[in-house]
Amino acid sequence: MNRRTFLQQSGLATAAMASSSFISLETLLAQPQARKFTMSLDPGAIGVKANQNQLIEYAIEYGFEAVTPYPDFLAELSDGQRSDLLSNMQDKNITWGVANLPVQFREDEQTLKKGLNELPRLAEGLQKANATRVSTWIMPTHAELNYLKNFKQHTERLREVAKILGDYGLRFGLEYVGPTTLRHAKKYAFVHTLEETQALIEEIGEDNVGVVLDSFHWFTAEEDVKDILTLTNDDVVAGDLNDAHAGRSAVEQIDGERELPMATGLIDTQAFLNALVKIGFNGPVRAEPFNQALRDMPDAKAVATTADAMKKAFNLVS
């Protein structure tokens, strides 16, 4: 489910300062290092409707390196079908990105229980297809639950999800949502920063849980490179790359109105990606602009336009 429908100072910097020869942040980020993360195609985020095989073909044609895995589709494959799919992907150098969590954990207990009961079958399908990552997002506001009650509910429910995913070797990423406008949409504000997400992950207490870093939320949460450099590759499950809407400050941005990477230059894309390179992040990075103009394009054009924007951004660090 799409949330739009719902509507430490760096330990690395500290260590450097403690050393006899201080290395500035600018120097650290300027040091060349090859990227390990992949350019991933997520169709829902750009308004494209494509089944799993079509998505792979789009990725091949337009130069993506990974695609979003569909849990329902993969769970229904026979051994032969799965083998053929994976062989095609391997031949074309396409890997898996991050799957969307197929559990509606924000709903009532009955809906949650139904999703949890179904999750092992879907997780097994992902595991058999060699997919390794699943993610969801944290709504930064609630109409009824105050921060502490909401934190408790998220901890308990997401722990159950994480345990099941962990049984099948799957990492679980939590994406915080930064815009002030969305946080103030309902009575109670909730988790909306990296630091708060790390606290939630610590409370969940499962070692397969990490963060999803989105450049738009990083920008709207008014964070910087030093925050990313407190992390390691093991802490990050996936990345999202977007730009902000022109003419709005960080606190004025609206969650469902974003731009493709480097479209406006409000977000320092190079600094964001360089930080991911510096921590050795080796997972998928996808565009998630939720941009109406992009959604109005024919599917192939939307994929091509997204690919051009992503390649332009990746060229800054490649």
**Is residue 77's pLDDT more than 90?**
yes
From residue 265, how far is each of 206, 229, 260, 288 by CA, in Å? 37, 22, 10, 16
Q: Classify residue 6: in a domain, yes or no.
A: no
Q: Per-residue pLDDT averaged across 98-117, rounded? A: 98
Q: How far apart are CA 283 and CA 225, in angstroms?
A: 18
Q: Classify residue 206: in a domain, yes or no.
A: yes
Q: Classify residue 82: in a domain, yes or no.
A: yes
254 contacts 262 by C-beta, under 8 angstroms: no
**Is residue 22's pLDDT more than 50?**
no
pLDDT tens profile 224-281: 999 999 999 999 999 999 999 999 999 999 999 999 999 999 999 999 999 999 999 9
Q: Check residue 30 and give its pLDDT.
A: 56
Q: Check residue 33 and give its pLDDT.
A: 77
The Cα angle at residue 139 between residues 100 and 153, in degrees rounded to 5: 95
**Is residue 221's pLDDT more than 90?**
yes
Q: Classify residue 9: in a domain, yes or no.
A: no
Q: Give burial (CB, 10 Å; 0-12/13-18/19+) of 203.
A: middle
CATH code of 40's domain: 3.20.20.150
pLDDT tens profile 127-175: 999 999 999 999 999 999 999 999 999 999 999 999 999 999 999 999 9
pTM tops 0.85: yes
Q: Classify residue 18: in a domain, yes or no.
A: no
Q: Classify residue 54: in a domain, yes or no.
A: yes
Place of tokens 């964001």: 272
Q: Check residue 104 and give its pLDDT.
A: 97
18 pLDDT band, cuts 50/70/90, is very low
Q: Per-residue pLDDT averaged across 89-99, rounded? A: 98
The beta-carbon contacts of 310-314 under 8 Å, at least 24 apart in sequence, are 310/39, 310/64, 310/241, 310/261, 310/285, 311/39, 311/63, 312/261, 312/262, 313/241, 313/261, 313/262, 313/269, 313/273, 314/35, 314/39, 314/273
Q: Per-residue pLDDT averaged across 90-112, rounded? A: 97
**Is residue 32's pLDDT more than 70?**
no
Report the mean per-residue pLDDT for the chain. 92
Residue 289: DSSP 8-state: -
Q: Per-residue pLDDT averaged across 203-210, rounded? A: 98
Q: Classify residue 286: in a domain, yes or no.
A: yes
Q: Classify residue 268: in a domain, yes or no.
A: yes
Question: Sign of the CA dihedral 82, 87, 92, 97?
Answer: positive
Identify the domain containing residue 121 by its residue range.
34-314
**Is residue 90's pLDDT more than 60?**
yes
If one counts the domains in the chain, the total is: 1
Q: Check residue 10 and give its pLDDT.
A: 39
19 pLDDT band, cuts 50/70/90, is very low
**Is residue 23's pLDDT more than 70?**
no
Q: Check residue 128 and give its pLDDT.
A: 98
